[in-house]
Amino acid sequence: MKRYKIMSINEILDRALDIYKGNMGTFLLYLFIIYIITIPLGIISYVVTILPIVFMLNSIVNPFSLFMEMDIFPLAVIIIVGVFLIGLTIAIQMIQQSGVVFIAGRGFLNRNSAAEKVLKVAFKNTWRIITALVASGILIFIPLVALSSGIIGLLMNFNYELDSFTIVGLIVLGLLLLIGIIYFYTVHIFVLQTITLERLGFFKALKRSRELVKDSFWRILGIIIVFILIISAIANSIYGLIGILGGIIYGVMRMFDFQGDLWSVLLMYGNLLRLPIQVATALFIGPVGSILLTVLYYNQRFKKEGYDIRLELRRLKDAQQDD
């Protein structure tokens, strides 16, 4: 059993790897089941929501006329539906990852988790996730509306010729939007951990995350970038390996001059295998980000609250009882 202490970035990565290896079966089984449940529900929701919008936009040829010629009501409907779909996508992903955070949190505390219990926890967190998303929407509503209004206003003045004022305005507003998104994402990076491990919701979950990130913003942002690069490297390595195997098969077939019918058969099987390979890759990579963030979450609690001391005392007590 490892000691609890403030960790460096390398120790965070090592601890996350240990948690992943020790609970791999639970992670994969949970994600496989949750994908089967949530993906069809998401597809149905998207289809039911998007179809009316498709019919509404069917007559529009020039996308810029969306802002210049449409009445306010259909435009408002499209914006509301777009916001709903974005929220639905985020909610589904958070529900999926909530169980991963629960497994990772218990793994960090050297406890095991059963997949059926993890599923219950993930769905029990649905309401907290929705309230946190609503709170996020309330916080970003005014600045988002202001920036969106500026961008739409520039587009409405756009008469198929870009002038310097429009270009500069779009760049400035785009940069402000990007900076705002990065800031908001970083200070609320631990929302899913506070929802799952501390059972907080609505504004409390967001506030708790901001407290943990406070005075460590740039360090947390740098670590997040490192995590993203690591996950991208893992994904690219897997796809690269698949590409190498495909290249070897292609080379062998060229060497032995296989006929066209066999090419067609192999192409058909390759297309059939594409989806299972993508699903397997998603299952393998899916837990990585949430595990890393969960370990980072505990590390921030160690720094700010001395939570490592409490856990270490508990660990020593358990060790004495075992003896």
Q: Is residue 170 assigned to a domain?
A: yes
Radius of gyration for the alpha carbons in the chain, expressed in angstroms and rounded: 24
What is the structure's pLDDT at 283?
78
Q: Is residue 302 a contact partner of residue 112, using CB atoms and an 8 Å limit?
A: no
Q: Is residue 323 assigned to a domain?
A: no
Q: Which domain holds residue 216?
A: 9-316
User: Total structural domains in the chain?
Assistant: 1
Q: What is the pLDDT of residues 92-131, one digit of tens each?
A: 888 888 999 999 999 998 888 888 889 898 888 889 888 8
Q: What is the pLDDT of residues 31-63, one digit of tens each?
A: 888 888 877 877 787 777 776 666 665 655 455
End-to-end C-alpha distance for the chain, whole angstroms: 14
Q: How far apart are CA 134 and CA 203, in angstroms?
A: 9
pTM of the model: 0.80
Summary mean pLDDT of the chain: 79
Look up residue 169 and give its amino acid: G
Q: Is residue 321 assigned to a domain?
A: no
Give one word for 111, left, alpha or beta, with left for phi > 0 and alpha for psi -120 to 50: beta
* Helices assigned H by DSSP within 58-71: 65-68
Q: What is the pLDDT of residues 10-38, one digit of tens each?
A: 999 999 999 999 998 888 888 888 888 87
Q: Is residue 3 assigned to a domain?
A: no
Q: Is residue 83 assigned to a domain?
A: yes
